[in-house]
Structure formats: structure tokens, C-alpha cells
Amino acid sequence: MPNPGGQMDRPPVVDIIPSLHTMEIILPKAVRRRINALRKLQVQCAHIEAKFYEEVHELERKYAALYQPLFDKRRDVVSGAVEPTDEECEWPSDKDEEEELAEEVKEKASIEDAKKEEATPEEGPKGIPEFWLAIFKSVDMLSDMLQEHDEPILKHLKDIQVKFSEPGQPMSFTLEFHFEPNGYFNNAVLTKVYKMKSEPDASDPFSFEGPEIIDCEGCQIDWHKGKDVTVKTIKKKQKHKGRGTIRTVTKQVSNDSFFNFFNPIKAPPNGELDEDSELTLATDFEIGHFFRERIVPRAVLYFTGEALEDDESFEEEELEEGDEEEQDEDGDEDDEEGDLDPKA
């Protein structure tokens, strides 16, 4: 029945779209029985999907071996161990810029360069200085972990590699951070292993959406004496209650540092963590995945900023879509208000 204002009463959504539980109850028993059969088929699909992801992991491992020689050459160029040839250094944008210069300007520039080389015979920088540190500082996810005292250490980082678990082993991947000899620690390589699960959960098989990181393990850093940036020494004054004397006590406490990345929170056997620990662990998993999927394969593009532009464009597109949805919702509310009779 219409209300006094002339607007039709709208039935509650729950009456139009019954909940899944309600719908099942009102269905005939024979139909509910067949739905259970479909559920069992869906579980079988989930197990087949798990096998699919296992084969994808094997393909990743296979192609990682093909990528590695290129990544090794990248490492050698960055470190200065190898000087690329003129042909290897050609890039279309460089050619376009050179063609825009007039011949006489190019001749003049080359003469000036030759004079400078004669006057200053010093060698230029070796390789690409601070390559990985520059990437850390430009990527928000990594710069959030970076502290000023980490930067001198990361100047010695010469490569980051991803290693996939071998056939027959539980699914995992390892991040390897390779350092040149330095005055901070003895390790040549720092590692972080991410353990993965790629099978439906027996208690909730329909939640399976592919491999997920379930745990991670860092490594022990063999710090030189007094160089451990993950701890700091504080002095605290204590007053004796009876005598009133004061003494100074020194103790070590944890310190913010990127190198805490190699000492992650351990999930307890029962899997129960407090909210803060869960968030910390989830962020850790996200960072490990980002290293694997983005940073290591596309390092030069993060150094130049080209990959950052792509990431920002993607985020802007998502934001614009979200804004449109909000505007549509606002518009719907306005329409609803417009249906009301002002006399009501």
C-alpha cells in the first residue's frame, strides 16, 4: 500500500534476496542433496587448481634459470666488473636526442669533451653507484623500512636474487641479498625464505585462491663488534629505595632498521597471533612477494623511475574507479530523496 506521501513502501533487501542459509532451508530436500553433490565437485576443482599452481611453480623455476644469466650480467654491469660495449649501450631515446643536435654542435661538444679528458684524466664512477640503495629509497614500501643508519650498509649491496624450491620439496622461494666485503658484518649473503602453501584447506576448501605465503625464516647476521644497527644501547638511572644512591645502568634495546627484515616474527604452532603481530607478518609477506615479483625482475626500471610511474598509473586508475562508484552511490541517495513527497 502507498504511504501518505505517495511513495511505495520498499520491502527489506533480506525479503527479496534471502540468505544462503535461508534459501537452502526452503529448498526441497532432493535439491539440497544435489547441491551437496555440486559442492563435492567444487572441492575436486579446487584440488585440480592446486595442481595447476604447482606446475606454474615448476615453470617459474625453469624460466628463472633462463633469466639468471641476464641478471648475472646486470650484477656485473652494476658492480663495474664488466663494461658494456657501445652496441649494448645503444637505446632508441639516445639516438633520437643525438639526431636533434646539429653537426657543428656535436663537433664542438666532442672537442670540449676531449679537452676535459686531457685536463682531468681521473676515471669516472665504477659501474652504477648505489644502484640498489637508490631503488630502496624510491619505492615507498621499502623506504618505510629504511633508516639513515642502514644506508651506508646498503651501499655495499651488489645483487638480489630469487631462488625457487627444487622439485619434490615443499613450495617456497628464497630472497638472497649479496653484499661485497664491508665493515659491518661478515656474511657475504643474507637470506630470507618464504614458505608457501598451495592446497585447499580441509576445513575451508572454497577459500582456496592459489598459493599463499604461510611462514618465513630469516638468517643470523654476523655483525662486527659495535656495528649491529638493529639494537641500540641506552643508559638509565636507577635510584636505590633505601640508601638513595643513584647508579647508571646500560642495556641494549631493539632499534628500527631494514635489517630487522632478516629476523621476522615467528608464527606459533597453534597459529594464533595478536592483531599487531598478524599485521606485521602480513606486511612482511607482502614485501617478500614484491621483491620476488617486481623489484628483482625489473630493478633497472625502479632505478630510473619508469616502473614507479607504471605503479602510480595503476593506483590512480583504481582510485578513479572507486571515486566513480562513490559518486554513483551519492547519486542514488539523491534520487531516493527526490522521490519523497515534500508535503509528507
Q: What is the pLDDT of residue 236?
A: 79
| Most trustworthy range by pLDDT among 2-16, 101-115, 121-135 | 121-135
Residues β-bridged to residue 267: none
Beta strand pairing status for 157-164 and 172-179? antiparallel
Cell 643513584 maps to which residue?
Answer: 246
Give the C-alpha separation, 313 to 306, whole Å: 11
User: Within 13 A of 64's CA, how many CA atoms are on the CB side?
Assistant: 17
Whether 323 shows a pLDDT value over 60: the answer reads: no
Higher pLDDT, 61 or 342: 61
Beta strand pairing status for 189-197 and 212-217? antiparallel
The sign of the CA dihedral 254, 259, 261, 262 is negative
Q: What is the pLDDT of residue 2?
A: 42
Higher pLDDT, 252 or 177: 177
Confidence of residue 321 (pLDDT cuts 50, 70, 90): low
At 87, the amino acid letter reads E
Identify which of 130, 215, 206 has the alpha carbon closest to the alpha carbon of residue 170. 215
Q: Name all domains of the chain by residue range, CATH numbers in brackets.
A: 21-82+127-228+258-267+274-314 (3.30.1120.90)
Q: What is the pLDDT of residue 318?
A: 53
Q: What is the pLDDT of residue 7?
A: 44
CA distances from 251 to 228, 247, 248 (A): 14, 13, 10
Q: What is the pLDDT of residue 21?
A: 61
Q: What is the pLDDT of residue 1?
A: 40
| Most trustworthy range by pLDDT among 43-57, 70-84, 121-135, 241-255 | 70-84
Average per-residue pLDDT for the chain: 81
Whether 242 shows a pLDDT value over 60: the answer reads: yes
Residues 6+ apart with CB under 8 A from 49: 208, 210
Q: What is the DSSP letter of 105?
A: H
DSSP string, 217-235: E-----BPTT--TTEEEEE
CB 195 within 8 A of CB 215: yes
Whether 6 shows a pLDDT value over 50: the answer reads: no
Q: What percent of the chain has pLDDT over 70?
A: 73
Give the C-alpha separation, 60 to 74, whole Å: 20
Reported pTM: 0.73
21-45 mean pLDDT: 85
Q: What is the pLDDT of residue 123?
A: 67
Whether 187 shows a pLDDT value over 70: the answer reads: yes
The per-residue pLDDT for range 157-180, each reduced to its tens digit, is 999 999 999 888 889 999 999 999
Whether 73 shows a pLDDT value over 80: the answer reads: yes
Whether 339 shows a pLDDT value over 60: the answer reads: no
The per-residue pLDDT for range 127-139, each reduced to its tens digit, is 999 999 999 999 9
Confidence of residue 243 (pLDDT cuts 50, 70, 90): confident
CA distances from 333 to 68, 74, 142, 328, 339 (A): 56, 56, 41, 9, 10
Residue 220 φ/ψ, nearest 5 degrees: -85, 125
